[in-house]
Amino acid sequence: MVHLNNSLSDEEFAHKDDYKALVRVAILLNSESNLDHLLDLIISESNRLLEADRTSLYLVDYESNEVYTKIALGVDGFEIRVPLGKGLCGTVAVTGETINIREAQSDDRHAGDMSDYITHTLLTMPLRTHSGKIVGVIQAINKKTGVFDARDEEILAAFCGLAAVSIENATLRRDIERMFNSFVVTMAKTIDARSPQTSGHSERVAQYAKKVALQLGMMSDQVRLIELAGLLHDYGKIGVPEAILMKPGRLTEEEWVWMRSHVVQTREILSNIYFIGDLNRIPLIAGQHHERVSGKGYPLGLPGDKIEFEAKILAVADVFDALTYKRYYRNPMTADEALDHLTSLIDIEFDETCVNALKEVIARDGPPLNTDFDPDAIRQAHILGALKTA
């Protein structure tokens, strides 16, 4: 580790401007919530602060006991994995020491260059969080002027502390979002699986709706909103009796009343969820997926200009999936037949922009593959099977 030694000249140590720059870097790193972007930023900022020719960032994988890197500035992206304790980075990840090599070509600790690139100077330091956990290793290579000196060690040590906590936070946030998303997907699947006819329906609707949103050039936050609304649009079916959901034939008018009630239930149930920011529009949007631009949809019969645009996307995605998927009482339509049907109802039931965007999506990605269901599946086997195969 770095020890300050007052007998050395001031020039070798960090200055006020270095630390001032580090404070700005701290804000920059902590403002980046996307983990991949953050890792890129850490590499480019440390490379700049140390005036290195290139810098690598290794993360520690405590499950496989390896350090790994996907990115190295100046090298084409490929994944390198090294066991903990092996090589310079694998060693630093275990011991937590700083290794500063002034001529790698004559140093046994340097494992040799893997390409034509020749390494001379090397500064390797652990990324240690506030609680002491080593989450990764930074390696700066070939300082552009001279060797990595005491000032570089001091600055990199401070930088590593900032970078480590940023990585820890961004990782945790990504993991919490993954947990939430996997929960929503799993729940949607289990609710769909109460009827073989609708198995996988919500996931497919979410995917169609997401693709339509992307096709229409929507921003990532809005795309995520639409995808989640797609996954959740039939949540209310949990309140519809199985006898109706699983009926092997057409429904009576009374049964349709029950069936239609799922939209109201979707909206009311979802209203109990504490959605963040714009996601709080999900109950509204999901609750309008059976509204139609003619005003003859349900539950409210809203005129077209009162229907949320995202709900119009859901409506198209929902009906397309229903038409192209087998029902007890009819075979699936082809994608073309379904798109023709949607087109014939433009400005009557569906929004033109949404139908056209779906056409482009299907033209590009092809028609849905599996449109059959297993009518003999018992519900339990079906639910578990739906989870396993999807």
Binding region for a second copy (CB under 8 A) = 14-16, 19-20, 22-24, 26-28, 30-31, 33, 129-131, 158, 161-162, 165-166, 168-169, 172-173, 175-187, 189-191, 193-194, 235, 238-243, 258, 261, 265, 268-270, 272-277, 279, 379-380, 383-384, 387
Strands 80-83 and 52-61 come out as unpaired
Least Å distance, CB 193 to a second copy, is 8
Least Å distance, CB 122 to a second copy, is 24
C-beta closer to a second copy: residue 15 or 296:
15
- CA 327 to CA 312: how far, in whole Å? 23
Q: Which tokens in the block code for residue 250?
A: 């057409």
Q: Which of 102, 97, 25, 37 is nearest to 70 (CA)?
A: 37
Least Å distance, CB 124 to a second copy, is 20
Residue 180 contacts by C-beta under 8 Å, 6 or more apart in sequence? none
Residue 138 contacts by C-beta under 8 Å, 6 or more apart in sequence? 42, 46, 55, 56, 57, 58, 124, 125, 127, 156, 159, 160, 163
Least Å distance, CB 181 to a second copy, is 8
What are the φ and ψ backbone dihedral angles of 138, each rounded to 5 degrees? -110, 135
Instruction: Evaluate whether 274 touches 285 at the Cβ level (below 8 Å).
Output: no
Task: Name the residue type at position 333.
Answer: M
C-beta closer to a second copy: residue 275 or 298:
275
Buried b (16+ CB within 10 A) or exposed e, 35-57: beebbebbbebbbebbebbbbbb
Task: Name the residue type at position 23.
Answer: V
C-beta closer to a second copy: residue 27 or 114:
27
- CA 116 to CA 119: how far, in whole Å? 10
Residue 253 contacts by C-beta under 8 Å, 6 or more apart in sequence? none
Least Å distance, CB 197 to a second copy, is 16
C-beta closer to a second copy: residue 14 or 333:
14
Cα 75–Cα 81–Cα 84 angle in degrees, nearest 5: 130
Least Å distance, CB 170 to a second copy, is 9
The CB-side HSE value for 8 (13 A sphere, CA atoms) comes to 12
C-beta closer to a second copy: residue 235 or 320:
235
C-beta closer to a second copy: residue 283 or 297:
283
Least Å distance, CB 35 to a second copy, is 13
Cα 213–Cα 218–Cα 221 angle in degrees, nearest 5: 100
C-beta closer to a second copy: residue 15 or 48:
15
Least Å distance, CB 74 to a second copy, is 27
C-beta closer to a second copy: residue 185 or 316:
185
Bridge partners (DSSP) of residue 125 are: 138
Least Å distance, CB 279 to a second copy, is 8
C-beta closer to a second copy: residue 185 or 357:
185
